[in-house]
Amino acid sequence: MSEQPKVEGPMIRMRGIRKAYSMGRVEVEALRGIDLDIGGNDYVAVVGPSGSGKSTLMNIIGCLDTPTSGEYVLSGEKVAGLDRNRLAEIRNRHVGFVFQNFNLLPYASALENVELPLLFAGVGTRERKERAEEMLRRVDLADRMDHKPTELSGGQMQRVAIARALVNRPAIILADEPTGNLDSASGQGIVGLFRELHGAGQTIVMITHDQAVARLAERIVQIRDGQIVEDRQAAA
Amino acid sequence: MSTLVSRAEVAMVWRLFRADAAHNRKRIALTVLAIAWGTLSIVMLLSFGEGMKRAFHRTVRGMGEGIGVLWPGATTRAWAGLNSGRQIQFTDEDMELLKARIPELGAISREYSRRVPVSLGAKSVNARVRGVDPSFGPMRNLIPSAGGRFIDEADLSEKRRVVFLGDELAKDLFGIGDPIGRTVQINQSTFLVVGVMQAKVMMGMYSGPDKGQATIPATTFKSMYTDARPGNMVYAPVSMEAGDKVKVEIYRVLGRKYRFDQEDRRALGIWDTRENQRITENIALGIQIFLGIIGALTLFVGGMGVANIMYAVVKERTREIGVKMALGAKVRQVMAPFVMEALMMTVMGGVLGTAVSLGLMAVIAVLPLKGEAFEFLGRPTFSPAIALSTSVVLGTIGMLAGYFPARRAASVNPAVSLRYE
């Protein structure tokens, strides 16, 4: 696994992205021509009502799904016509996911959860452990490494998930409603952590319908009916 | 990147399995039990087959291994001016002639016989008494029990009055006493008992089972009954492969002496026991394959149980599969845990089933099973071949039971499954 090269130009470049689902005989267009550039060290909030296509957009940005048409370049790599294994490799190297419901493996410890992306990348045992521990320290969970998710609070679980997203040094962090399942105090902690990461140079794309959370981003992209209707700098 | 499954993955799978086992204890226990039962069936059936094969082998060798029995016949073709339908009769010299002319002949013995009373005091048994050469014993599998011996060369050359008794005949005359060193009367002559045959089972025989016969030196027999001719001869080729050549040579040599066409098959009768051995071995093999198939089918049903569980597990873990995919797990890395888990259950069941089978066999081995049926059936016998074939069948079933559910897992769409509750 090679270290990822420093990319000039936008981290994410989308041109005319369309995504159509066939629901029986009916074709539903979830995305209808998205043009979007996200640069290195951007902190973008994607907002929109449910059914607007923001989840579909997130799936495509995260390479969990591929567009029906259009061009998508992530971190200098064209994401089109790739097989499952190649897509898995791109996700592993370039994308760190943070989910609303944390999605930690319940039977594995915090440390093991953070080790997972490294395991899939084929990193050796010792290095894996060191890097995972370092990440957990960074999210202030040095004393919770051997705890199972059930022994952690929501905020702690989300921080484990963030450590897991960061551990492979991804080009972007892709967060889907990261504060949606948290009480406001924990939510603020997570938002603070994102800001800190952004301050350290991390590109972050966050999907949220929480205006308060969105306002903390640098840039807000508004989606409606599968199209970008507004793209503005947040009033800081 | 290594294509092998890493140690960490194995550790992860093991932990996963234990976590699963904790909340599906009953289901997993029943599945492992089904595999254990299947393993028990296949191991026991194959072991019964093996035991039976060995018993077959033993009984078919009861009369002797790879030997031929040679009788005089009657010609069916006119030859060299002689009519057909002429009876052939062996003479005392035929054995020496065959021995001298056929190098592939490993051993040969005359067999004279007559049914006469054999008596001890007032007890008398009408038995078949046969006069033979010393090579007859090993060829015909007449093994002396402890303390005794068979007829030897000195007995033969000195025409001693010694007798080797069949075990049943010895029992009829002496009861439970030891006959060796005591004497019996044959044709009003006193014979010293030098050996008693070890009990054996015979699947094939001519002129009755060996256990009821008295065997004396051929020369002694000839001196008692001067008009006797060898009723038959018993021979053993130097090797199994030489058997066919020996048969041809016997027809050629005796055909020249007695003036019959060496293609005239009826002029001599030869019972080639190699053929029986081949047939019984094939029958035993056929039975074993049949039993093995039944066992494998039983095991297969257990494998269905494992596959069934694995499908359920895949469904339960759909979201987890999606998470792993999002984190960058490749197809192989998604599939491996399911295959390993299925294999783990199969191996556990396999070990359990094999252990129980071995225990059962140990019990059967010490059971006092008596009777002719058991002599032919034998006792279940484990063998490396059985261990190997059971492992192969188990492994294959485990792999298949894991592979198909794993393929289902790999086909999960991560974008959809991450929303799956």
Residue B376 lies in a domain: yes
Q: Residues B291, B381: one domain?
A: yes
Secondary structure class of A88 (helix, strand, coil): helix
* More confident call, A8 vs B35: B35
User: What's the mean pLDDT in A209-222?
Assistant: 89
User: Is residue B226 classed exposed, middle or buried when 0-12, 13-18 and 19+ CB atoms within 10 A define those classes?
Assistant: exposed
**B304/chain A closest Cα distance in angstroms:** 27
Give chain B positions within 8 Å (CB) of A112: 12
The DSSP 8-state label assigned to residue B212 in this structure reads G
Give CA–CA dist B218/B92, Å, rounded: 10
pLDDT 10s digits, B390-403: 899 889 999 999 99
Residue B113 lies in a domain: yes
User: What's the mean pLDDT in A107-125?
Assistant: 90
- Best to test chain B binding among A60, A82, A83, A85 (most B CBs inside 10 Å): A85
- Best to test chain B binding among A56, A64, A101 (most B CBs inside 10 Å): A64
B171-176: list long-range contacts, CB under 8 Å, 24+ apart. Answer: B172/B123, B172/B125, B173/B118, B173/B119, B173/B120, B173/B123, B173/B125, B174/B120
Q: Residues B399, B347: one domain?
A: yes
Give chain B positions within 8 Å (CB) of A95: 326
What is the reported pLDDT for B5?
Answer: 57
Q: Residues B289, B346: one domain?
A: yes
User: What's the mean pLDDT in A12-36?
Assistant: 90
pLDDT for A223 beyond 60:
yes
**A236/chain B closest Cα distance in angstroms:** 32
Q: Residues B298, B373: one domain?
A: yes
Domain ranges, residue B159: 106-239
Q: Residues B41, B146: one domain?
A: no
DSSP bridge pairs for A224 = A227
Q: In what order do the strands lie in the sheet with A43-47?
A: A95-98, A172-176, A203-207, A43-47, A219-224, A227-233
Per-residue pLDDT of chain B (421 residues; tens, 9 = 90+): 344 456 666 776 677 677 666 767 888 888 899 999 999 999 999 999 888 888 887 777 788 888 999 999 888 888 777 778 888 889 888 999 999 999 999 999 999 999 999 999 888 999 999 999 999 999 998 999 989 999 999 999 999 999 999 999 999 999 888 999 999 999 889 999 999 999 888 877 888 899 999 999 999 999 999 889 999 999 999 988 888 999 999 999 998 888 888 888 888 999 998 888 888 888 888 998 999 899 889 888 888 888 988 898 888 888 889 999 999 999 988 998 889 888 988 999 999 999 999 999 999 888 887 776 777 778 888 888 888 888 998 899 999 999 999 999 999 888 888 865 4
What is the reported pLDDT for A38?
Answer: 94
pLDDT 10s digits, A48-93: 988 898 889 999 999 999 999 999 999 888 888 888 999 999 999 9
Give CA–CA dist B220/B402, Å, rounded: 75
Nearest residue of chain A to residue B321 (CA atoms): A105
Contact status, residue B306 vs residue B342, Cβ threshold 8 Å? yes
Question: DSSP states of B277-288 as a string?
Answer: HHHHHHHHHHHH
Residues of B contacting chain A (CB within 8 angstroms): 1-2, 6-9, 12, 15-16, 19, 319-320, 323-331, 333, 410, 413-415, 418-419
Q: Residues B16, B146: one domain?
A: no
Give chain A positions within 8 Å (CB) of B413: 65
Inter-chain CB proximity B328 and A120 less than 8 Å: yes
Task: Report the candidate in B320, B115, B408 with the shortest Cα–Cα distance to residue A108.
Answer: B320
Q: Find tokens 């194959």 and name the residue.
A: B46
DSSP bridge pairs for A72 = A14
Task: Report the candidate in B381, B391, B419 with the shortest Cα–Cα distance to residue B47.
Answer: B381
Give CA–CA dist A93/A33, Å, rounded: 27
The DSSP 8-state label assigned to residue A30 in this structure reads E
Taking CB atoms and an 8 Å cut-off, how many pairs form between chains A and B? Answer: 72
Contact status, residue A121 vs residue A96, Cβ threshold 8 Å? no
Amino acid at A185: A
Give CA–CA dist B400/B343, Å, rounded: 9
Q: Residues B300, B398: one domain?
A: yes
Q: How many domains does chain B have?
A: 2
Give chain A positions within 8 Å (CB) of B407: none
Domain A40-67+83-233: state its class.
alpha beta
Give chain B positions within 8 Å (CB) of A119: 6, 8-9, 12
DSSP bridge pairs for B18 = none
Percent of chain B that is helix, strand, coil (3-state, to 5): 55, 15, 30
* Nearest by CB: A119 against B8, B320, B323: B8
**CA dihedral sign of residues A132, A134, A139, A145:** positive
Residue B386 lies in a domain: yes
pLDDT 10s digits, B252-280: 999 888 888 888 888 899 999 888 888 88
What is the reported pLDDT for B275?
Answer: 85
Inter-chain CB proximity B8 and A99 less than 8 Å: no
pLDDT for A236 beyond 60:
no
- Best to test chain A binding among B327, B407, B416, B421 (most A CBs inside 10 Å): B327
Inter-chain CB proximity A121 and B328 less than 8 Å: yes
| CB contact burial A156-181 (16+ within 10 A = b; e otherwise) | bbbbbbbbbbbbbebbbbbbbbbbbb
Q: Does A2 touch chain B (CB under 8 A)?
A: no
Nearest residue of chain B to residue A121 (CA atoms): B328
Q: Residues B228, B283: one domain?
A: no
Nearest residue of chain A to residue B18 (CA atoms): A107
Inter-chain CB proximity B331 and A85 less than 8 Å: yes
Residue B233 lies in a domain: yes
**Residue-averaged pLDDT of chain B:** 88
Last residue of a domain, one of B181, B212, B239: B239
Give chain B positions within 8 Å (CB) of A89: 328, 330
Inter-chain CB proximity A99 and B418 less than 8 Å: yes
Q: Residues B36, B160: one domain?
A: no
What is the reported pLDDT for A2?
Answer: 43
Nearest residue of chain A to residue B333 (CA atoms): A120
Inter-chain CB proximity B329 and A88 less than 8 Å: yes
Q: What is the ipTM of this complex?
A: 0.91
Residue B87 lies in a domain: no
User: Is residue A50 classed exposed, middle or buried when 0-12, 13-18 and 19+ CB atoms within 10 A define those classes?
Assistant: exposed
Contact status, residue B271 vs residue B233, Cβ threshold 8 Å? no
H-type alpha helices, B327-383: 331-366, 372-377
Model pTM?
Answer: 0.72
Q: Residues B119, B20: one domain?
A: no
Q: In what order do the strands lie in the sheet with A12-23?
A: A26-38, A12-23, A69-74, A77-78
* Nearest by CB: B327 against A84, A92, A128: A92
Across chain A, which distance is largest between two alpha carbons, in Å?
54
Query: In sequence order, which residues have a C-beta less than 8 Å from that of residue A108 and are 6 or more positions away?
Result: A116, A148, B12, B15
Kindly state the tokens that stand for B117: 């009373």
**CA dihedral sign of residues B220, B221, B224, B230:** negative
Residue A21, Cβ neighbours under 10 Å: how many?
A: 12
Q: Does A150 touch chain B (CB under 8 A)?
A: no
Give CA–CA dist A75/A7, Å, rounded: 6
**CA dihedral sign of residues A227, A180, B330, B411:** negative
What is the reported pLDDT for B3?
Answer: 42
Give chain B positions within 8 Å (CB) of A105: 320, 323
Nearest residue of chain B to residue A87 (CA atoms): B328
**B23/chain A closest Cα distance in angstroms:** 12
Contact status, residue B133 vs residue B95, Cβ threshold 8 Å? yes
Give CA–CA dist B120/B165, Å, rounded: 13
Last residue of a domain, one of B186, B210, B239: B239
